[in-house]
Amino acid sequence: MATYTRHSRAPRGRFSDHGRSGRSSFSRQKARSAGRGGHKGQFIHHSKFINKGVDEVVKPYEPTHSFADFAIDHRIKANIAKKGYVKPSAIQDQAIPVVLQGKDVVGIANTGTGKTGAFLIPLLDKVINARHERVLIMVPTRELAQQIEEEYKGFSHGSGFASVSLVGGANINPQIRALRHDPYFVIGTPGRIKDLIQQRALNLSKFHTVVLDEADRMLDMGFVQDMRSIISLMPKKRHTLFFSATLSPEVERLLKEFVADPVRISVKTGDTSKSVDQDIVRIEGREKFGLLQDLLSLPEFEKVLVFGRTKHGVERLAKELTRHGIPSASIHGNKSQKQRERALGEFKQHKVRVLIATDVAARGLDIPNVSHVINYDQPNTYEDYVHRIGRTGRAGKRGIALTFVE
């Protein structure tokens, strides 16, 4: 994979500061409006978007356990082996034994570190050994809820321990029907969980275990009151696992409300991945949309996630790229659940190589082999930036993140 810098002399406006040919019929007016809202968010200096990725020279984490060492049900071990997993990641290695002991946990980990397995594996073992146990997992987005449920099905295959995903944007009636079968794992977003509680479809009185995944993101999205309301309906004596990528003063205050005498586990290694080359693309009077077209026409841009700010802008951008011969899909809040699943599926299965998204896709999604992340619109916060570019450079691979600046 080529390495780029902002001073590279590249064909047709790749990263050079020179003019480009205006081959696109997409006007400057449209280019300004596509993917851009009126609110620019906090100012982030351009230097924060430039960082040369490096090959890791630090010694890889050496776990103290193998999955075979953990005191978990043999069926779970068999399913882990089917996935090809042998050695746990750092967060799994350190968290699984603690969760198995029934202790509360605060886990701080970068995105893509395997924290889903760190709580699913021991909690599945917990319900196998105590059939009366029920587990509630709260997450900020429907995509993350569905991803966790998909992983759960892999770990629990053949066990008969049912799960349900409770998310907005999907028909509520199948979710109500699934709850009537008393699933062991309930995974959902705070808004939909609260709706189903109010409809008396979900009773939390026998849920003695709760996972708050990406708690910092739920705080950012304004879910804190819903979280408080939901947890207040659970037994006071409960097992709580709290996972976050950051530990701001606001997050600290939140975890003090929810977690009692937790074991703190931090495997965070830095704000942004060392395996991601980060750079800027200067617009400087050039046509923004045409510049994006030029980049996407290069062969090394194999599987590209493009971030825009607004729902309408993202949708418009995907349609215009498709119209100009670059098949693209989009995900944003105005899409139905089936539409979002279809778009993600097409991107994962290489039916389209460009996915345009709002920040709803920045957290939690595990999309393999994303070669590039392009910030067509700058993120509102640096934290959003970190999570956007975390979609590339995963699983030991290198990635490139580019941010358009004027």
Q: What are the tens digits of pLDDT across the range 306-347?
A: 999 999 999 999 999 999 999 999 998 888 878 888 998 999
Lowest model confidence (mean pLDDT) among 35-39, 268-272, 301-305: 35-39
Q: How many domains does the chain have?
A: 2
pLDDT of residue 103: 96
Q: Is residue 21 predicted with pLDDT exceeding 60?
A: no
CA nearest neighbour of 118 among 243, 232, 20, 33 = 243
Range picked from 30-34, 183-187, 274-278, 336-340 for highest mean pLDDT = 183-187
pLDDT of residue 59: 62
Where does residue 295 rank: exposed (0-12), middle (13-18), buried (19+ CB within 10 A)? buried
Residues 51 and 94 in one domain: no
Question: Measured on CA atoms in the order 70, 76, 81, 87, is the torsion positive or negative?
Answer: negative
Q: How confident is the model at residue 80 (pLDDT cuts 50, 70, 90)?
A: very high
Cα end-to-end span (Å), the chain:
26
Residue 3 lies in a domain: no
pLDDT of residue 53: 53
What CATH number has the domain bearing residue 348?
A: 3.40.50.300
pLDDT of residue 362: 58
Residues 297 and 202 in one domain: no
pLDDT of residue 169: 84
Q: Is residue 45 predicted with pLDDT exceeding 80?
A: no
Where does residue 229 rank: exposed (0-12), middle (13-18), buried (19+ CB within 10 A)? middle
Where does residue 54 rank: exposed (0-12), middle (13-18), buried (19+ CB within 10 A)? exposed
Tell me the whole-structure pTM to 2 decimals: 0.67
Q: Final residue of a domain: which of 214, 245, 266?
A: 266
CB 340 within 8 A of CB 368: no
Q: Final residue of a domain: which of 240, 266, 292?
A: 266
Residues 333 and 234 in one domain: no
CB 122 within 8 A of CB 99: yes
Residues 187 and 238 in one domain: yes
pLDDT of residue 113: 80
Q: Which two tokens stand for residue 223?
A: 């879910």
Residues 206 and 292 in one domain: no
Residue 243 lies in a domain: yes
More reliable by pLDDT, 89 or 42 = 89
pLDDT tens digits, 174-231: 999 999 999 999 999 999 999 999 999 999 999 999 999 999 889 888 899 999 999 9
Range picked from 111-120, 260-269, 296-305 for highest mean pLDDT = 296-305
Residues 310 and 378 in one domain: yes
Range picked from 4-18, 71-85, 323-337 for highest mean pLDDT = 71-85
The domain containing residue 78 runs over which residues? 67-266
Lowest model confidence (mean pLDDT) among 5-9, 57-61, 129-133, 363-367: 5-9
Q: Final residue of a domain: which of 231, 248, 266?
A: 266
Residue 130 lies in a domain: yes
Q: How confident is the model at residue 256 (pLDDT cuts 50, 70, 90)?
A: confident
Residue 21 lies in a domain: no
Residues 118 and 72 in one domain: yes
The conformational region for residue 276 under phi > 0 = left, psi -120 to 50 = alpha, else beta, is: beta
pLDDT of residue 303: 94
Residues 177 and 305 in one domain: no
Residues 296 and 392 in one domain: yes
Average of per-residue pLDDT values in the chain: 84
Residues 44 and 83 in one domain: no
Q: Is residue 39 predicted with pLDDT exceeding 70?
A: no
More reliable by pLDDT, 14 or 169 = 169
Residue 74 lies in a domain: yes
Lowest model confidence (mean pLDDT) among 94-103, 270-279, 298-307: 270-279
Residues 336 and 387 in one domain: yes
Residue 47 lies in a domain: yes
Residues 285 and 332 in one domain: yes
Residue 191 lies in a domain: yes
